[in-house]
Amino acid sequence: SNVVVLARSQDLSRSLRFRDFFSNGLPLTVGVVVVGALLTDVMGAMVFDSHSPFPQWACSASAASCIFVQAPGVVQGQQVDAQACIVDLGSEDTTMCRLWNGTMLDMSLVQQVF
């Protein structure tokens, strides 16, 4: 659409230049990026509760790479009795998993929640 506007501007007394598009478009683009990022964070928390701990139902899927374990702690500012533990697929026997705070657990030593 910019090409059409540039072509039609040749009929004006002073034709539009690339600088005119840049000086008007850059602030608008930066503003939309900032507002969009802020809205994504706020609306994600309001609509999808994205600031809460990982839900148990998400680990119960057969293809999930996590397990839900009895490991009390604080996850994203909320006290929990059980939490998701991401299976470490990089280990040779995949017996280790990682909690939200980075703690590595041996899956054979913790009680899983079903």
Q: What is the pLDDT of residues 37-94, one digit of tens each?
A: 999 999 998 998 888 888 888 887 766 688 888 889 888 888 999 998 888 877 677 7
pTM of the model: 0.56
Check residue 102 and give left, alpha or beta (phi > 0: left; psi -120 to 50: alpha).
left
Question: What is the sign of the dihedral through the CA atoms of 14, 16, 17 and 22?
Answer: positive
Is residue 34 predicted with pLDDT exceeding 80? Answer: yes
Write down the pLDDT at residue 1. 67
Are 110 and 70 in contact by the 8 Å Cβ rule? The answer is: yes
